[in-house]
Amino acid sequence: MKKKFKRNFKLKGVQILALGFILVILVGALILTLPISTTSGESTNFLDALFTATSAVCVTGLIVVDTGTYWNMFGQTVIMILIEIGGLGFMSFTTLIAIILGKKITLRERLILQDAMNTFNIQGLVKMVKYVLMFTVSVQFFGALLFSTQFVPEYGLGRGMFYSIFHSISAFCNAGFDIFGNFSSLTSYNSNAVVILVASALIIIGGLGFTVWSELYSSKSLKKVSLHSKMVILMTTVLVLGGTVLMFLFENKNVNTIADMSFIDKVMNSFFASVTPRTAGFNSIPTDGMTTAGQFLTIILMFIGGSPGSTAGGIKTTTIGILIVTIVCVIKGREDAEVFKRRFSKELVYRAFTLIFIGLSLVIVVTMLLSYTEKGASFMALFYEAVSAFGTAGLTLGLTSELSNIGKVLIIFLMYLGRVGPLTVVLSITRKRINSGIKYPEGKILIG
Q: What is the pLDDT of residue 101?
A: 47
Q: What is the pLDDT of residue 211?
A: 75
Neighbours of 204 (CB within 10 A): 20
Q: What is the pLDDT of residue 116?
A: 46
DSSP structural state of residue 285: S
Q: Does an H or E element contain 339, and which?
A: strand 338-339
Is 441 within the bounds of a domain?
no
Q: What is the pLDDT of residue 9?
A: 44
Domain count, the chain: 1
Is 446 within the bounds of a domain?
no
> What does R_g of the chain's alpha carbons equal in angstroms?
22
Is 447 within the bounds of a domain?
no
d(CA 371, CA 207): 31
Is 399 within the bounds of a domain?
yes
Q: Which amino acid is at 111?
A: L
Q: What is the pLDDT of residue 229?
A: 82
36: left (phi over 0), alpha (psi -120 to 50) or beta: alpha
Is 381 within the bounds of a domain?
yes
337: left (phi over 0), alpha (psi -120 to 50) or beta: beta
Measured between its terminal Cα atoms, the distance across the chain in Å is 54
374, 410 Cβ separation under 8 angstroms = no
Neighbours of 248 (CB within 10 A): 19
Tell whether the torsion through CA atoms of 84, 89, 95 and 98 is positive or negative: positive
Neighbours of 350 (CB within 10 A): 10
> What's this model's pTM, rounded to 2 decimal places?
0.84
Is 5 within the bounds of a domain?
no
d(CA 408, CA 27): 19
Treating both helix axes as pointing N-terminal to C-terminal, what angle do 422-429 and 405-420 enclose, rounded to 10 degrees? 90
Q: Which amino acid is at 308?
A: P
d(CA 113, CA 92): 7
d(CA 315, CA 303): 6
How open is the CA angle 91-53-119, to the nearest 5 degrees? Answer: 25
Q: Three-state SS string across 167-200, please?
A: HHHHHHCCCCCCCCCCCCCCHHHCCCHHHHHHHH
Is 188 within the bounds of a domain?
yes
The residue segments making up the domain with residue 42 are 11-429
d(CA 433, CA 88): 29
Is 96 within the bounds of a domain?
yes
Q: What is the pLDDT of residue 92?
A: 54
Q: Does an H or E element contain 361, and which?
A: helix 346-373
In tens digits, the chain (448 residues) has pLDDT values of 444 444 444 555 456 666 777 888 999 999 999 999 999 999 999 999 999 999 998 888 899 999 999 999 999 999 999 998 887 764 455 555 555 445 554 544 444 444 444 554 555 556 666 777 788 889 999 999 999 999 999 999 999 999 999 999 999 988 889 999 888 889 999 999 999 999 999 999 888 877 777 777 777 676 777 788 888 888 899 999 999 999 999 999 999 999 999 999 999 999 999 999 977 889 999 998 999 999 999 999 999 988 877 777 788 888 888 888 888 888 888 877 777 878 888 888 888 888 888 889 999 999 999 999 998 899 999 999 999 999 888 899 989 989 999 999 999 999 988 877 665 555 444 445 555 566 667 665 655 6
